[in-house]
Amino acid sequence: MMMCPKCGAKMPDDVGICSNCGEVLTSISSHIHGGDSMVLNMHHTSSITDNALLCMSYLGFLVIVPLMFCKNTKLARFHINQGLVLFITELAYGALFLFTRWLLLAISLWLSVIVAVMAVAGIVFIIYAAMGIAGVIRGETRELPVIGSCKIIK
């Protein structure tokens, strides 16, 4: 029996894909110490193409690409959901920012300081996207702070 490196599920040695999370598994036989055979499990992470597609989940409207092409594993669904939540939050923040900017500047130009602070606060979305992309690269399923607990895709 071997264990899946992503989800920890026990799999028979002859299985190539984890039935729980879809991770690709391979095993290599190696002769060690006088002909004794030992099976070494080498685990391949998702292909570079899959990781690149999942990274797109955190790049705004590009979340559509992994949503169409790679939602078959638990890890993919997790990151697509996180990216979708981030994108919807960015849209809501953008609409709120535009309305508030218009309203504050219509009242007084002195309120432009508040508008500038709100614009700088948008950097949070860049930080969240970087956190999500780092999670894809590491193969982690860590939720984004504050917004990550929302579930759109199950």
pLDDT tens for each residue of 94-106: 999 999 999 988 8
Question: Greater confidence, 46 or 134?
Answer: 134
Quote the pLDDT of residue 147.
Answer: 92
What residues have CB less than 8 Å from 83, skipping those under 6 apart?
Answer: 56, 57, 58, 59, 63, 66, 132
Confidence band (pLDDT; 50, 70, 90) for 124? very high
Hey, what's the torsion of the CAs at 44, 79, 133, 121, to 10 degrees?
A: -170
What is the widest separation between alpha-carbon atoms in the chain?
Answer: 85
**Half-sphere CA count of 62, side-chain side, radius 13 A:** 10
Per-residue model confidence as pLDDT tens digits over 106-115: 898 888 888 8
Question: Greater confidence, 20 or 123?
Answer: 123
How far apart CA 1 and CA 41 sit, in angstroms, is: 10
Burial letters for 118-127: b for 16+ Cβ neighbours within 10 Å, e otherwise? eeeeeeebee
Q: What is the mean pLDDT of residues 7-36?
A: 60
Structure tokens at 46: 């998702």
Q: Which helix (H) or strand (E) holds 116?
A: helix 112-121
SS3 47: coil
Contact (Cβ atoms closer than 8 angstroms) between residue 25 and residue 17: yes
The residue ranges of every structural domain in the chain are: 2-43, 48-138
Quote the pLDDT of residue 88.
Answer: 95
Q: What is the mean pLDDT of residues 68-94?
A: 90
